[in-house]
Amino acid sequence: MFTDEELYKIETLCREHPEFRHIMRRFKEESRYMLSSISHELRNPITLIHSTVQLMEKKNPEITQIPYWSQLRSDINYTISILEEYTNYNHSEEIRLSNVDLYELIDNIKNNFRLISNDKNINICLDASDISRKHIKSYSCDEIKMKQVFINIIKNAIEAISKKGFIHIEINADPALLCKNIDGNTYMVIIISNNGKKIEEDELPNIFEPFVTYKAGGTGLGLAIASRVISSHGGNIQAFSDDEITSFHIMLPLL
């Protein structure tokens, strides 16, 4: 991964030298193609192994009692999930815009997690004023990728809460209550907070980097995907955490 200083130098060179900008664009496209090809080639044999395991279980159910069989199953599913998330990450910057009711999108996701949250005694609430809802009723964004953002963040929040807690989603899209950024644009603010396990201070700067994870069984791509999707929509995302609250602050252009 490039440091902030290295990224700044690359951006400066791209602005000042069109030929360098063209080379970097080609490099990015070639890298994406190569990694997509590798992911595709890995997916095929893993899918065949998964199908074979399912067939073996169907024909010989007793095989599931063999020691380490469940571990084999778990490892295969984990490998598949990594490949799926990598594919999502690799294409997270490609957006297809449509008009979306952003409040409804988040509310539907919240309701989809109801069974899991109820089981862990977690209260998920969504707050937005009528004015805010009005301003995001027809928001221009990539609906599928925006869903990924909120699914990943809410899923992580649920996993961070051991038992009994809350997840609070607050949307402020009221222009009268928002300040213009230094670029002259007004940004809505979406804050997703929870009272789950604290993210350590030394971990916070890296949580949006790909393949960085601090939890067992994690792929380290969920938050990286969220960050790239938000960035592709002209926004940004930050995380804050202390002993009581962990929160994700999402800023998106108020179009």
pLDDT at 1: 55
Q: What percent of the chain has pLDDT over 70?
A: 85
Instruction: Residue 90: name the closest of 156, 45, 34, 154 by CA.
Output: 34
Which 8-state DSSP code applies to residue 95?
Answer: -
Of 74-83, 123-132, 148-157, 189-198, give the lowest mean pLDDT range: 74-83
Residues 6+ apart with CB under 8 A from 222: 85, 152, 155, 156
| DSSP 3-state of 204 | helix
pTM over 0.75: no
99-253 has which fold?
Heat Shock Protein 90 (3.30.565)
pLDDT, greater one: 3 or 106: 106
pLDDT, one tens digit per residue, over 7-36 is 678 778 888 888 888 887 777 667 666 666
Locate the domains of the chain by residue range: 4-91, 99-253
pLDDT, greater one: 238 or 217: 238
pLDDT, one tens digit per residue, over 115-174 is 889 999 999 999 999 999 999 999 999 998 898 899 889 999 999 998 889 999 999 999
Pick the CATH number of 4-91 from 1.10.3470, 1.10.860, 1.10.287, 1.20.1070: 1.10.287
Do 4-91 and 99-253 fold alike per CATH? no
Residues 6+ apart with CB under 8 A from 62: none
pLDDT, one tens digit per residue, over 222-233 is 888 899 899 999
Question: How many Å apart are CA 174 and CA 177, to the nearest integer?
Answer: 6
